[in-house]
Amino acid sequence: MSQAAAGVTAVVVLAAGGGTRMKSRRSKLLHELCGRSMLSYAITAATSLEPDHLVVVVGHEREQVSEHLAEIAPYAVQAVQEPQLGTGHAVRVGLDALVELPSEVVVTYGDVPLLTGETLAGLVAEHRAAANAVTLLTSVVDVPTGYGRVVREHGQVSRVVEEKDASDEERDVREINSGIYVFDAETLRDGLAELRTDNAQGEMYLTDVIAHANRLGRTVGAHLIDDPWQTQGVNDRVQLASLSKELNRRILVRWMRDGVTVLDPETTWVADTVDLAEDVTLLPNTILRGATSVAQGATIGPDVMLTDVEVGEGAHLVKCHATLAVIGDGAEVGPFSYLRPGTRLGAKGKIGAFVEAKNAVIGDGAKVPHLTYCGDAEVGDGANIGAGTIFANYDGVTKSRTTVGKASFVGSNSVLVAPVTIADGAYVAAGSAVTEDVGPGELAIARSRQRNIEGWVASRRPGSKTQQAAEEAVRAEKGDQE
């Protein structure tokens, strides 16, 4: 934050609106963009000013909003607006929550997720440099429909005109009011005291404080920014999708400029909370969420979703889904793999096609290549788990753990019935159902001896296609012998 914007005494975040156009049982402000709630972006921008007081005005679905605020901003003062009588009334409620009157008040909104702290700092700096009583954050847009127009006289803001009240000439104005302000506290307090609800909407308009300041001859200015996205609010799910896409684009641009390759930004989604190193490559249809971190040189994708996953250097993941997992340096995962919470794959390890792992520690260089359920397990360094192996961890009451020692080999289509330990350097024969521990260097064979019953098809399946095929095979065999 610049020194010119330091020392803001109060920021009031308006977060009491109904959000009815979202058509949701959840508060509009709790809907997410790029992995974070709409409100959390507003709080981040507001707190970047390091205000002495942060007030959040809540109202609609305030139980949900208050609970969320307690998680992301427990230091914030909450003020309840009930009933909701407009933006002017909301700010009045917010100021009433403060014990002392601040010298400056920044007013912003909980539903403007692309607004940055740098922009708010610029607004405050310009407000102070011009010695304004009120400073508006404004932007120029191509289609200003629906926005209040900023009318200037001799460069100073004379008024803000709502579209329904604007003349044809005023409707042609493309500079719009964002509704975000810095106020001299005295001007704000006096202006709020004059607000009335005797209008068509029955609400107190914060824009009327601008008219109050002009009547008193106090300077009203504007901080014009060239990024209209920062002034856009979210009122419905269409706008939510639009701003999410733009925010994701900005996140990807930042990462690409920091040395990350994104092959197809249109199909790649990276949450604001994700951390990426240089020379990471993200292939199409990759989604990274939560506290996911990807180390240098790793390749993610295509078709990968990671949530709260740590990926090591040079690892390669393709067509997989992982949550709360750790993937070591140079490891390989996929395709069609599912890593559930508690999975830890060691350096140069492999989890392959159609493998599900849960609460499993798979050592360095160990391989679980295909068609396996590996749950509640510890697989030692260099071990190899054959295709179709099942770690039978649940007996209907208790989940138990299986240990496979280092450099051991489990043959295909085996069942390891937990709790059981296969020691270092042991073998399990294919098709075994292992229920007892296997010692170092031992071969476990847990299957019955094969028996072939002659004539079984003829006696049990007479007249069937199988019998016909068997008879033809016997005749052919006899013919070959003759």
Residue 151: CA count within 13 A, CB half-sphere: 19
Taken as a whole, the chain contains a residue count of 482
- Selecting among 60, 127, 321, 370, the annotated active-site residue is 370
Cα 139 to the chain's mean position, in Å?
29
Our answer to whether residue 223 is catalytic in this structure is no
Residue carrying structure tokens 């700096």: 125
Q: CB under 8 Å to 482, separation ≥6 — which residues?
A: none
Q: With CA atoms as reference, report the closest residue to 281 among 254, 251, 256.
A: 256
Q: CB under 8 Å to 212, separation ≥6 — which residues?
A: 187, 190, 191, 194
What is the rounded CA–CA span in Å between residue 332 and residue 374?
16
Vertex 426 angle, CA 422 and 432, to 5°? 70
User: Residue 267: phi, psi to the nearest 5?
Assistant: -115, 10
Q: CB under 8 Å to 19, separation ≥6 — which residues?
A: 27, 28, 29, 60, 61, 111, 235
Instruction: Indicate the pairing of strand 175-184 with strand 134-140.
Output: antiparallel
Q: With CA atoms as reference, report the closest residue to 93 among 103, 84, 102, 105.
A: 84
Amino acid at the residue 159: R
Instruction: Map residue 456 onto helix, strand or coil.
Output: helix
User: Residue 9: phi, psi to the nearest 5?
Assistant: -85, -30
What is the rounded CA–CA span in Å between residue 159 and residue 271?
39
* CA dist list (Å): 131 to 91, 125, 445: 22, 10, 87
The catalytic residues are 370
